[in-house]
Structure 1
Amino acid sequence: MKFSLDILDWRALAAGIDSCENWIQWANQPDINMFSGELPKTPHIPMMSARRMSIGSRLAVNTGLSLLASNNIDAAIFTSRHGELERTGRILHALADEQSTSPTEFSMSVHNTAAGWLTIISKVPLPITSLAAGNDSFQQGLLEAQAILAGGASRVMLIDFEGEIPPMYDKSVNSEFLPYAVGIILTAGDTLQCSNVPSPDDIDAVTLPQSLQFLRGYLTSSPNFNVDADKRRRWQWVRTL
């Protein structure tokens, strides 16, 4: 499988790292762990709305609103492996303790909560898709963007995000780099070319989420870089310009 695209703009948020300058520094200094400190502020979201959002949704929506402030887009895609797992975890605990569940928690526990908040706050009636494909969610979002661009759209915004993971999942989910949100504006082009290739037998365990792998590769001057889903699947990116 092969495809290509151009990137017009990008934004990202994570604990302790929020400016474009900080992200470029992180990309070019792989041995430095900058994911520490306080969560970034989300000034694009009204306070009353922010209070009702999970941490992941807050970062995702603020990233999307920041991109919408300077870009006109035709459609948006939200990708997340876990979605509102933080909120769902609280609902499960309440049920296990035979307590009543919060109507707000229940209504906002769906996977497309962040997408809905974006259209409500921005007041922009965008067609939006929400996708989950395990560790490969970000790359599958890029394939979805290819279909939308082929259907006539000029610019597509892709937001990949994760929130906090409930402690009950600590043994099965690496939360070292969570929460975060990465947003990119995509258009048709051939500056970046991607192909699906077999993973080498000696690949290390994948710890960095796909969108952060991609952002690190994109922000460096390397002519090519890889994005892995697991030990079986690898996406190889080549920069042509």
Structure 2
Amino acid sequence: MDGQFSLLGWSAFAAGLESPDDWLAWARQPTLPDGLATPALAEMPAMQRRRLEPLGRMALQVAWRCQPEAAPGLPMVFASRHGDVARTYEMLAGLARGEPLSPTHFGLSTHNAIAAQYSIARGLTDNYLAVSGGVESPEAAVTEALALLADGAPEVLVVLYDGPTPEPYAEYRDEPEAAWAWAWRIGAPCDDAPRLSLGPCAGAPAAAATPLPHGLDVLRFALAGEGTLVSPSGTRGWRRHA
């Protein structure tokens, strides 16, 4: 497939941005989402929903909207640069104060916990992956999804999400931060859906700084209909084919 795929469906969520029309308008004039909004996630049973922090609820809300009907045989790739770092920081701060570590909080802080909660709630037993690739986590996620497509999967659900790091980590921030989540359902290239590709572009200049974290910039590229987007490292690039 030469890194090509079709975007068969999408969903996104951030503070003040929930409907597809909201996001399409945002893609034409993008700004950094401000604040933290918690989606209703009414599709998930309340007992399980209460186990999730707002970031996890955002990730599962877009996954549910992108996959309204549970589809057996549909592999999933969940990706986040930082994961549920706010929960992790709270546990570390508690340990520093001499407080015991909660096994429940620890279990829910692992990088695959949000994907696991989704698969449990929907009764899915198919393959899922949880990846992190630093600032280029979108590229890592879609690379995994392309491998799954090449291995015979008819479609792949890709879910990206991230939130602001706690203030003690401020000196390490290297891009704008906000709370957001998006999901894509991708499949083999076809004529009746937008066709994109992700591939190497050695020698290309790295992407210029934007007011968005890279994960949101990839979504903006897909929704705005732009032709190309280079990754922050300049080693990979996104391209629109149709």
Q: Is 1:221 aligned to 2:222, yes or no?
A: no
What root-mean-square deviation, in Å, do the aligned CA atoms of Structure 1 and Structure 2 show? 2.2
C-alpha change, 1:141 and 1:221, in structure 2 (3 Å) is closer
C-alpha change, 1:107 and 1:48, in structure 2 (3 Å) is same
**Residue 221 of structure 1: how far off its partner (Å):** 3.1
**Residue 7 of structure 1: how far off its partner (Å):** 0.7
**Residue 55 of structure 1: how far off its partner (Å):** 2.1
Question: How far apart are the structure 2 equivalents of 1:24 and 1:7?
Answer: 15
Is 2:77–2:131's contact at 8 Å kept on the other side of the alignment? yes
Is 1:10–1:184's contact at 8 Å kept on the other side of the alignment? yes
Q: Which runs of 5+ in 1 are unaligned?
A: none
Match of 2:100 in 1: 100
1:214 maps to a residue whose letter is V
**Residue 57 of structure 1: how far off its partner (Å):** 1.4
Identity of aligned residues (%): 28
Q: State which drifts further: 63-72 or 138-147.
A: 63-72
C-alpha change, 1:46 and 1:178, in structure 2 (3 Å) is farther
Match of 2:205 in 1: 200
The residue correspondences of 1:136-215 to structure 2 (distance < 5 A) are 136-173=136-173, 176-189=176-189, 191-197=195-201, 198-200=203-205, 204-205=208-209, 208-215=212-219
Equivalenced residue count is: 235
C-alpha change, 1:36 and 1:55, in structure 2 (3 Å) is closer
**Residue 71 of structure 1: how far off its partner (Å):** 7.0
Question: How far apart are the structure 1 equivalents of 2:175 and 2:122?
Answer: 30
* Deviation string, structure 1 residues 157-215 (Cα, Å, up to 9, x no partner): 000111342221122226854211110001011721333223427x5436523332121
Q: State which drifts further: 105-114 or 212-221.
A: 212-221
C-alpha change, 1:207 and 1:4, in structure 2 (3 Å) is same
2:108 maps to a residue whose letter is M
C-alpha change, 1:13 and 1:51, in structure 2 (3 Å) is same
Match of 1:54 in 2: 53
* Deviation string, structure 1 residues 100-144 (Cα, Å, up to 9, x no partner): 222221121211001100111111212101111111111011111
Partner SS state of residue 94, structure 2: helix
Question: How far apart are the structure 2 equivalents of 1:37 and 1:178?
Answer: 8
Match of 1:78 in 2: 78
Is 2:4–2:198's contact at 8 Å kept on the other side of the alignment? yes
* Deviation string, structure 1 residues 200-241 (Cα, Å, up to 9, x no partner): 27x54365233321211111233x12142x3x3353333222
Question: How far apart are the structure 1 equivalents of 2:12 and 2:48?
Answer: 20
Question: How far apart are the structure 2 equivalents of 1:47 and 1:115?
Answer: 17
Question: How far apart are the structure 2 equivalents of 1:36 and 1:95?
Answer: 28
Question: How far apart are the structure 1 equivalents of 2:28 and 2:91?
Answer: 40
Question: How far apart are the structure 1 equivalents of 2:174 and 2:85?
Answer: 14
* Greater fraction of residues in strand: 1
Q: TM-score, normalised by structure 1?
A: 0.87
